Amino acid sequence: MEQAKALSSSASQSLNERFKIAFGLTAVIWIVGLVGHFTPLLEWPALAIYVLGSIGVVVWRGKSNGEWAEMYLAGGDLKKSLKWGGIAGIILFTMDIFNTVMWYKSGKPPMMDMQGILVNMNFLYLFPVLVLAEEFLWRGLMFSAMIQKGYNRHLTVFATAIFYVLNHFAVAPVGMQERAMMGMMAFPIGIFGGYLVLRTKNVWGSVLVHMITMISMILDLFVIPNLVYQYMN
């Protein structure tokens, strides 16, 4: 009995730590991003904390406390997660491509700031690392902690999706219009990914959704504008 109580107390303490770390890391990222916006460094320090902090914290908690399953990086229904992640990713991919074509056909400008970062600064190859950081923080660390602390599941899905959207304004070193566009793309990813993790208790399907939509974003930036402009001319 005493041993069971000790284990329960330890698990509760570990959960509380994860919950505080998730929201504490988010607060640090947003504060650093806000301060950096008014300096020559812009949001780059916040972006670095976001990527390194998110992956670092999850790996640290997983290795030191064995919380891989608690953070949904292990266990759950991996097969179901990947299956529905692929389906959801294809749906979002199709929606994004359609919206992008309509955007350019209406004469709207391309995302020049993002193109400059991805091409001129060679950040295109770091997209997979960014996806892991985002999924680990929002759908892994924060989502799992909220669910396990008993928060309403629908509120948890919506809240983590909104935090993910708002985070684009805190860490993206681009113009506000491009941040808003990325935020609009982030919301359905957060909703689809959140419910997928909720049903499967596994984050890797949400990672797959995110990876597929990142492919559509690359097409949005480098392929679709040329095709649309050629068709219009």
Q: Residue 233: its pLDDT value, please?
A: 61
Note down pLDDT in tens along the chain; length 233 residues.
Answer: 655 555 566 788 999 999 999 999 999 999 999 999 999 999 999 999 999 999 999 999 999 999 999 999 999 999 999 999 999 999 999 999 998 888 888 877 777 788 778 766 767 788 899 999 999 999 999 999 999 999 999 999 999 999 999 999 999 999 998 899 889 889 999 999 999 999 999 999 999 999 999 998 888 888 887 777 667 66
Q: Residue 218: its pLDDT value, please?
A: 85
Q: What is the 3-state secondary structure (H, E, C) of 132-175?
A: HHHHHHHHHHHHHHHHHCCCCHHHHHHHHHHHHHHHHHHHCCCC
Retrieve residue 29's tokens.
Answer: 């990222």
Q: 24-38 pLDDT, tens per residue?
A: 999 999 999 999 999
Q: What are phi and psi of 196, to 5 degrees?
A: -65, -45
Q: Which domain holds residue 80?
A: 2-232
Q: Residue 5: its pLDDT value, please?
A: 57
Retrieve residue 32's tokens.
Answer: 């650093």
Q: Residue 114: its pLDDT value, please?
A: 81
Query: Looking at the 3D structure of the chain, how many domains does it have?
Result: 1
Retrieve residue 12's tokens.
Answer: 């509760």
Q: How far apart (Å, rounded) are the C-alpha atoms in residues 47 and 28?
A: 11
Per DSSP, the three-state class of 191 is helix
Interacting residues of 76 by C-beta distance below 8 A, sequence separation 6+: 69, 200, 201, 202
Prediction pTM value? 0.90
- Cα–Cα distances (Å) from 207 to 53, 107, 163, 201, 227, in that order, read 18, 33, 17, 13, 29
Q: How far apart (Å, rounded) are the C-alpha atoms in residues 218 and 223?
A: 8
